[in-house]
Structure 1
Amino acid sequence: MTRVRGNPQRQGLIAGLLAAVFFGLSAPLISVVSQEGSPLMIAALLYAGAGIALLMVRGFRGQQQQESPVQRRDLPPLLGLTVLGGMVGPICLVQGLTLLSAGSASLLLNLEAVFTLLIAVLIGREHLGRRGLIAAVLILSGAVLLTEGSLHGATLQGTLLIAGACLAWGIDNNLSQRLSQRDPLQIAMLKAIGASTPMLLLALAAGQSLPAWPVLLGLLVIGAMGYGLSIWLDLLALRHLGAARESVVFSTAPFVGVLFSVMVLREAFTSGMGTASALMLLGVAVLLKEDHAHWHRHDAFSHAHRHRHDPTGGDPHHSHDHPRNDQLSSDPQQAYWHAHEHQHAPIEHEHAHVSDVHHRHGHRQGG
């Protein structure tokens, strides 16, 4: 039994920011060792490190009974995000890092937020309110300001490779959001193992050798933090925030990469970087204050996922009854988390919400 704690949207924001920090640090770190092996081998070792880290987390936490496991109908999107996000994206990134400076490549990663946001709003029918739009404009304006001042000397090929990685991750983020109601740790593990194993086998079959053990160990550690823990935390953010808002939060990752490049790799820090940093941080603060609420209707449907059972009415979307032997709380008046197949009855109400799996309704212009 897991008691209800805190605000899920606030928890999603914190998880998204932590994921951004871990991923933001990974790009400049990878650039240091990007010449030590082929992009395929480096990408394979990064995701091998991710898989090892996630297996350790799974062993520490044990089987989480309050999570909904992956089902057969989830396999197509899981395959898509594994190939695009776990293989295509990292290979393009590593290849691009061999052609660009760490700062330039980190800043170009802002394109991931643009692609994720456009796909989520235009194709995924997610809603982004006024505050969300303001936050997106602030952060992406900072990204444009940074990128414009730091692409000197970057090759077109390197830029296109980073853009290709961002497009792959933008599609990955939207596919992941559709699976975010499943066990996020299981999704992240399957993605990491499913991506690293074929890439490693292909690299070895092509005659590529493993890098020297200090580099190998470094890549495993970078992958554990920048891809393993980051993917898991980002799935939690996608669950609570939706892909559009997650993309705004995650777009702070390039800022982290630039800060690391300046402070550790000793790259130049310009006044434009300072202004852009302020814009990006202000955008996150605006997003934190967002409160989207209006009258809306839920149609009847059924699905399985982790949800809060709250007899006091704190979660009107999950007020269904449970068989007596399914009552997981010793006190039936206490809220708790669990997962099972359940039916949603039609309901109309008004409350604050985001574009999660329960709120894919239309919005009137200006609403």
Structure 2
Amino acid sequence: MPTRFNAAFTALLAAALFGATTPLAKALLGSLSPFLLAGLFYLGSGTGLAAVILARRLKGHAEGQPVSHNRFPVREVPWLAGAIVAGGVAGPALLMLGLKTTPAATGSLLLNLEGVFTALIAWIVFRENVDIQVFLGMAAIVAGGVALSW
């Protein structure tokens, strides 16, 4: 499969799976606590990622390719720890708490803005490059959310 097609397919699959978790989570929140549900979703995500990593390593080993080990710089550990705490612990738990108290349609519209706010944080706080395509994409997401809510 060509790399460009593979990347687009992977991104669309990830978006579809993320989108499918919201209605599923809303349905499960009646019988499970928000913290347990967030943990179960991330346990499933971690299990899936571990399976993909294992499959890639086995495939590389079978083809005689050396396994690459990338070193993680020690100076990056605090950033990684912050990302884990904010994005892997607090974020999912707060998302489930919000879904429990928010109507499904409102929650779905607000989740559309997650990518926009993430890009804005990257742009403003971390000085990431935002070209015209990214800016127009963010504007299209906001316009679509406004149109749907109107």
Q: TM-score, normalised by structure 2?
A: 0.79
Deviation at 1:80, TM superposition (A): 1.0
Residues 1:70 and 1:11: Cα distance change in structure 2 (over 3 Å): farther
* Residue from 119, 122, 140 that aligns with 2:121: 119
Give runs of aligned pairs for residues 191-206 of structure 1, distance below 5 A. none
Deviation at 1:93, TM superposition (A): 1.2
* Residue from 34, 43, 47 that aligns with 2:42: 47
- Residues 171-224 of structure 1 show CA distances to partners (whole Å, capped at 9, x for unaligned) of xxxxxxxxxxxxxxxxxxxxxxxxxxxxxxxxxxxxxxxxxxxxxxxxxxxxxx
Q: Which AA in structure 2 matches 1:22?
A: L
* Residue from 139, 142, 148 that aligns with 1:140: 142
* Residue from 25, 32, 42 that aligns with 1:37: 32
Residues 1:51 and 1:132: Cα distance change in structure 2 (over 3 Å): closer
Residues 1:66 and 1:14: Cα distance change in structure 2 (over 3 Å): farther
Residues 1:67 and 1:18: Cα distance change in structure 2 (over 3 Å): farther
| CA–CA distance in structure 2, aligned partners of residues 125 and 14 of structure 1 | 28
More strand by share: 1
Give runs of aligned pairs for residues 229-248 of structure 1, distance below 5 A. none
2:72 counterpart SS class:
coil
Residue of structure 2 equivalent to 1:73: 75
* Matched length: 142
| CA–CA distance in structure 2, aligned partners of residues 126 and 15 of structure 1 | 23
Say whether 1:27 aligns with 2:29.
Answer: no
| CA–CA distance in structure 2, aligned partners of residues 71 and 21 of structure 1 | 33
Where structure 2 has 5 or more consecutive residues not aligned to the other structure, the ranges are 61-66
Q: Which AA in structure 2 matches 1:26?
A: T
Residue of structure 2 equivalent to 1:293: none
Residues 1:19 and 1:69: Cα distance change in structure 2 (over 3 Å): farther
Residues 1:6 and 1:51: Cα distance change in structure 2 (over 3 Å): closer
Say whether 1:104 aligns with 2:106.
Answer: yes
Say whether 1:58 aligns with 2:60.
Answer: no
Percent identical among aligned pairs is: 35
Residue of structure 1 equivalent to 2:131: 129
Residue of structure 2 equivalent to 1:82: 84
Preserved CA contact (<8 Å) 1:28 1:103: no
More helix by share: 2
Preserved CA contact (<8 Å) 2:38 2:92: yes
Q: CA RMSD in A?
A: 2.3
Residues 1:12 and 1:127: Cα distance change in structure 2 (over 3 Å): farther
Deviation at 1:15, TM superposition (A): 3.1
Deviation at 1:25, TM superposition (A): 0.8
Q: Which AA in structure 1 matches 2:119?
A: L
- Residues 209-260 of structure 1 show CA distances to partners (whole Å, capped at 9, x for unaligned) of xxxxxxxxxxxxxxxxxxxxxxxxxxxxxxxxxxxxxxxxxxxxxxxxxxxx
- Residues 154-173 of structure 1 show CA distances to partners (whole Å, capped at 9, x for unaligned) of xxxxxxxxxxxxxxxxxxxx
Where structure 1 has 5 or more consecutive residues not aligned to the other structure, the ranges are 150-367
Give the number of the structure whose alpha-carbon radius of gyration is greater: 1
- Residues 272-300 of structure 1 show CA distances to partners (whole Å, capped at 9, x for unaligned) of xxxxxxxxxxxxxxxxxxxxxxxxxxxxx
Deviation at 1:66, TM superposition (A): 4.5
